[in-house]
Structure 1
């Protein structure tokens, strides 16, 4: 079982969008028994809230479920429980590395590492930019390539 945790700042826009899109792709690929996904935030001001309206609108438009998703805060045990922690931007990576200072075995990557042809490293926060369509496109493509990467890694291990 490969467990992936998507992380952004408030866990209401980017990381829940990535979680929902990735879960959708995993389900379409028939890999639900071997790959799980969740999301969390590094900031605590949105705890217990549903995804942002902009995130819900774009996911609804693409027929992707976000049922039952609520904002939660990253916990120290997440660094043990998840195989991959996927951050939305460099600031998230920095916060995660500080939080997990003594956890060298944790794999922390930025989502756009899986979409290098995009030419940028940070997924912009649509909470501030309002550009949920652009963020969805980045997340959709990155999650597609992340899933292919995970499948390839699993094949190498067998």
Structure 2
């Protein structure tokens, strides 16, 4: 049983915090911890303004998020690590081989679909990524 889920992307300001908020809302009341971190985090930064706007439009809120860098302790406490791209899975396996057996793509149930980085792109890119993440979150939520 998964009790602690970690989302990982690069900067921890767009994709992973958005997916974190989405899954947390989906699993509300189930006692499951959901968090996020970045492989190259913009430590201390809040969620990207466009990502936050999309969350708000869907009745969610990522205002309290502050980006953090992934480390052994964060990885060690996670029961499930969900990444956005294959290169994130590979990077985690390199830096923390012990976590590789619990690390998967958020898009695993969509034929291992990757979710591209919308950072510094226009709103349509964020909307596309939001839809992909929502599908991935919905698919994973069924397994809790």
Shorter-chain TM-score above 0.5: yes
- The residue that corresponds to 2:133 in the other structure is 139
Q: Following superposition of structure 1 onto structure 2, how do residues 46-61 of structure 1 map, counting pairs within 5 Å?
A: 46-61=42-57
Q: Once the 2 structures are TM-superposed, how far is the Cα of residue 67 of structure 1 from its aligned partner?
A: 3.5
SS at match of 2:104: strand
Q: Once the 2 structures are TM-superposed, how far is the Cα of residue 129 of structure 1 from its aligned partner?
A: 4.1
Q: 2:37 aligns with which of 36, 40, 45?
A: 40
Unaligned runs of 5+ in 2: none
Q: Once the 2 structures are TM-superposed, how far is the Cα of residue 115 of structure 1 from its aligned partner?
A: 2.7
| 1:69 is aligned to 2:65 | yes
SS at match of 1:4: strand
Aligned residues: 141
1:58-80 Cα offsets, whole Å, 9 max, x none, are 00111102142110000111222
2:52–2:63 contact (8 Å) kept in structure 1: no
- The residue that corresponds to 1:109 in the other structure is 104
CA distance in 2, matches of 1:53, 1:105: 32
| 1:5 is aligned to 2:6 | yes
1:77-115 Cα offsets, whole Å, 9 max, x none, are 1222000011110111111111103x1674000000033
Q: Once the 2 structures are TM-superposed, how far is the Cα of residue 51 of structure 1 from its aligned partner?
A: 0.5
CA distance in 2, matches of 1:89, 1:82: 18
TM-score by length of 2: 0.90
| 4+ residue segments displaced more than 4 Å | none
Alignment RMSD (CA, Å):
1.6
TM-score by length of 1: 0.83
Unaligned runs of 5+ in 1: 152-158
- The residue that corresponds to 1:79 in the other structure is 75
Tell which structure's C-alpha radius of gyration is larger: 1
